[in-house]
A and B are shown apart, each in its own frame.
Chain A
Amino acid sequence: MDALDQLVAQVQALSGSEQDVAHLSSLLKQADELLRTHALRLPFSLSSLHPTKHSLGYLYLLEAQSSGTLTREQSDSFLALASSFLTVCAPEQIRLAPDKFNSVCRRLRDQAMHLHEPMRAILPLQCAIRKLQPSSEYLTAIHADYLQMCLLSKCYKASLSILEDDIFEIDQKKTSLVPRDFLLYCYYGGMIYIGLKKFSKALEFFQHAITAPTTALNAITIAAFGKYVLVSLIQNGQVPPFPKYTPAVVLRNLKSCVQDYLDLANLYASRNIAEVKRCITQHEEVFKNQDNNLGLAKQVIASLYKRNIQRLTQTYLTLSLQDIANTVQLDDEKDAELHILQMIKDGDIFAAINQKDGMVSFQEDPEQYNTCDMTQRLNNEIHHIVCLAKKLTWVDEQVSCDHAYLSKIGRDRPRYDEDFDLVPQKIYTNI
């Protein structure tokens, strides 16, 4: 019985209880070299293992099998194997080897892209995320890959269940995560929300990407900022200033890399449609080819029309279609009518068009905030905020018990009267 068969037997034997699995894990770590040399025989060994019961061993073998370039057939079979493994593997076991797990998932993604079938990777990766996460608040390295697959295959809705989980916990040990994964997660997440037209959530994600702590400017942040500018123009009509917790590196250097977007933002503020259109055609090279943002840029123009019409509702009760067309720089009455119809349908304004006179009368928002639905909505919001506040208190408590914090506080405080000394001068440091 050679080394590989021995290993397989051990896997089969030691996959029972928790200590066994831990022992197995250390064995497997040492057996990495071994596995690579016997790569060709691995498919046979794999078939003798059960993906659920022997998840850990299966994982190592699978990973070793897929290292190196694969032929088309091999990719196909790997994809199938990996998909089924990911759907059925046992979470406790695979959590012992997060880096291997990530590696398998990454290979899965690579192969799916290689074969131009990103949709095949979606379900397996989704299961993989759920299995690796200790709780739904944890971010894993697989998040970014998963979102990328959803983007490429345009299955936006599928990713919603993952995206809607609020991420709070970043734990490198448990999930083997690197900062780049976080940035990619924010970036792809924002793009998916743009696809779903949920612009405010997209803004949130992009803002995470921009304000993530960093010591060097990177391409992901720049790309995220470009989209951030365009989406904030569409959603809010202006680009907010950088929040004060943006890393200094970003503040200093970002402006020079994104001059085109900032020009557009400035021209948007002037509310002149012709200028904005001109700016976009001028920078079309950058928007289209470099960043693939031309679609967004066109949406910016549409939003400017909307915003101008909305401003008219603040000043006029009724206005003729001709006047609207003139003020907003549309081509003619028909155009104005179409725009307004669309806006009424989308719920952006409340108005009625009188075709006989060619007049539009603007009405007030009929929302009176006195229905059951509204009460329900308010209740839900309050509930969310209370939960969030509880979490905040919990984190605060955690920090006040934190060793590093206490030692710093103890050192900096001046000597008080014994009675009022809440933190003893001498902190026990041999914890």
Chain B
Amino acid sequence: MDGSENHGRGPTGATPEQIDVESYASLYSGHTKIARLHFIADHSNSRNLELEALRMALDEIRKGENTVLFKECVEKINGRLGPGYGLDQEWIDTVERRAAQRQEKLEMELNGYRTNLIKESIRMGYNDLGDFHYARGDLQQAFKCYVRTRDYCTTSKHIIAMCLNVILVSIELGHFVHVSNYVSKADQTPDVQDPVVLAKLKCAAGLAHLESKKYKLAARKFVDTNFELGSNYSDVIAPQDVATYGGLCALASFDRAELKSKVIDNINFRNFLELVPEVRELIHDFYASRYASCLGYLQKLKPNLLLDIHLYDHVETLYEQIRHKALIQYTNPFISVDLNTMASAFKTSVTGLEKELAALITENQIQARIDSHNKILYARHADQRNTTFQRVLQTGSDFQRETRAMLLRANLMRQDFVMKGNRKQP
């Protein structure tokens, strides 16, 4: 269990919304639905939530062909949900038999196509085989099959289809390097007009950047995603997620101008933000310097975000960055700031605030000095003239030292004045 979990209560005492598993799960389809439900079950604190998630997961698995996942899920449930959710060996056997038959058939057909050397059929054959393995949960094989179709793609549509398939499998495998590669491949394909496809590619790229902690790039990709995406990519990401990921990353990494132009004034992204009003509110609060309210929203959202499979290990970092930005932005316009007022604006204690500010000053993010006696922060601007004089004197003496050393060394070498190893020294 994640150590930073709070037991359903935020630090301010308000109860954050308990995640509604059913409505959450309805946003997704396919493998990601199951994966997300499992994640919630593993990481949540309340038993009810866990059982609810597992129940829905098992229901979803039954609709598919993945027997391995079925067994795993049943183990996790451990009989707690009653007889309907136990190890259904009959179902397993039926599915296995069916799968074996289908696999045989597909492979035979594929061999046939290969001997006939009809490109399109071979491509479709590999594609179908890839789909089959994917449904069975054999991701590595699915990946291989999809990649093999590349040699037989003839039109850009084919290439796009291949890229999207590979991206899907890679995201599930967690191989985000491949995701980036194939997104760029797809981007380079000529004649890609479909806005849905473009939006899908942007989301995939955004996810890849998020995983590699490049929050600014991730934010850019997410805010540029076309709203036409809708629920077309529900087997990877929901539009609510685009809003959340994009909003948080933007807040943590964009400067004020970029935040205004790319997020607040961005009509397209506004549609996404409508789906998650808290994120919309918190961005507007930040921009309008209502920090207490903004940080309050963040705390409310936190427990649910920790249950998200893509975001959970970035939540802490993003929150820290947002908080730092808030502190810096607060102190920016003032010559002097009373720490007591600032502490109440940020809902923290004066000592804590002082420590945070000291850390930011040491990293040179804030140019100021703290008057610890009176608890005031004074802005400080370096005296350029003095610094220049100091640098001049320093450079002068450095130059002299270096030149002297060099002249000496040049003479040593000229005279071949080298300390040799084995000679007996007098």
Contact = CB atoms under 8 A, between A and B. Distances in A.
A161 interface: no
B399 interface: yes
B372 A213 contact: no
A169 B407 CA distance: 9
A216 B419 contact: yes
Interface in B389-422: 389, 392-393, 396-397, 399-401, 403-405, 407-413, 415, 417-422
B410 A182 contact: no
Interface residues of B, number: 40
A215 B425 contact: no
Given A213-B418, A381-B393, A166 B404 contact: yes
B370 interface: yes
B371 interface: yes
A215 B418 contact: yes
A391 B370 contact: no
A356 to B, nearest CB: 11
Given A169-B411, A178-B425, A314-B361, A204 B369 contact: no
Interface string A358-376: 0101101101110000100
B361, B373, B400 pick with most chain A CB within 10 angstroms:
B373
Contacts of B418: 179, 213-215
B164 to A, nearest CB: 49
B371 A317 contact: yes
A104 to B, nearest CB: 14
Interface in B192-234: none
Contacts of A207: 405
A168 B372 contact: no
B7 interface: no
Interface string B348-364: 00000000001001100
B271 to A, nearest CB: 45
Contact of A183 (B389, B396, B419): B419
Nearest to A381: B396
Contact of A213 (B385, B392, B401, B419): B419
Interface in A47-102: none
Contact of A388 (B393, B403, B410): B403
B426 interface: yes
Contacts of B404: 166, 168, 204, 388
B374 A216 contact: no
A180 B425 contact: yes
Nearest to A201: B401
A183 B417 CA distance: 11
B419 A215 contact: yes
A208 interface: yes
Given A179-B418, A365-B386, A392-B403, A213 B413 contact: yes
A351 to B, nearest CB: 13
Interface of B: 358, 361-362, 369-374, 378, 383, 385-386, 389, 392-393, 396-397, 399-401, 403-405, 407-413, 415, 417-422, 425-426
26 contacts: A167-B408, A170-B408, A172-B417, A179-B417, A180-B425, A180-B426, A200-B397, A204-B401, A212-B412, A213-B409, A213-B419, A215-B419, A215-B420, A314-B362, A315-B370, A316-B369, A317-B370, A357-B373, A367-B386, A377-B393, A381-B393, A385-B396, A388-B399, A388-B404, A391-B407, A395-B410
Given A166-B404, A214-B420, A216-B419, 6 more contacts: A314-B361, A316-B369, A317-B372, A319-B370, A323-B372, A369-B385
